[in-house]
């Protein structure tokens, strides 16, 4: 195991990434639970609207794949 020096940038990066990952998983879990509890009609409508718009489709895919969360990690200083 490596020794950790005070102010080690590696620790800061890992902490930022961890925070962003936890935020994303928490919000995605809440959305998934709502979708599972619903009748599915509204969720289906939402997906059709997203699929009909290439810009929204891209944003949606970046979000669910956690790629968009890299921007949040950069804001926190978690991505070099």
Q: pLDDT: is 24 or 12 the higher one?
A: 24
Contact by Cβ (8 Å): 24, 76: no
pLDDT bin (cut points 50, 70, 90) of residue 1 is: very low
pTM of the complete model? 0.61
Domain residue extents for the chain:
39-80
Helix residue ranges per DSSP H, 1-80: 9-37, 41-52, 54-64, 69-75
Inter-CA distances, 34 with 2, 31, 44, 69, Å? 43, 5, 13, 21
Contact by Cβ (8 Å): 19, 76: yes
């Amino acid at each position: 195991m490596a020794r950790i020096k005070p102010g080690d940038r590696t620790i800061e990066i890992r902490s930022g990434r961890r925070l962003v990952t936890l935020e994303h998983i928490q919000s995605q879990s809440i959305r998934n639970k709502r979708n599972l509890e619903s009748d599915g009609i509204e969720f289906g409508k939402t997906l059709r609207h997203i699929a009909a718009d290439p810009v929204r489709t891209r944003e949606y895919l970046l979000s669910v794949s956690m790629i968009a969360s890299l921007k949040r990690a950069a804001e926190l200083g978690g991505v070099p």
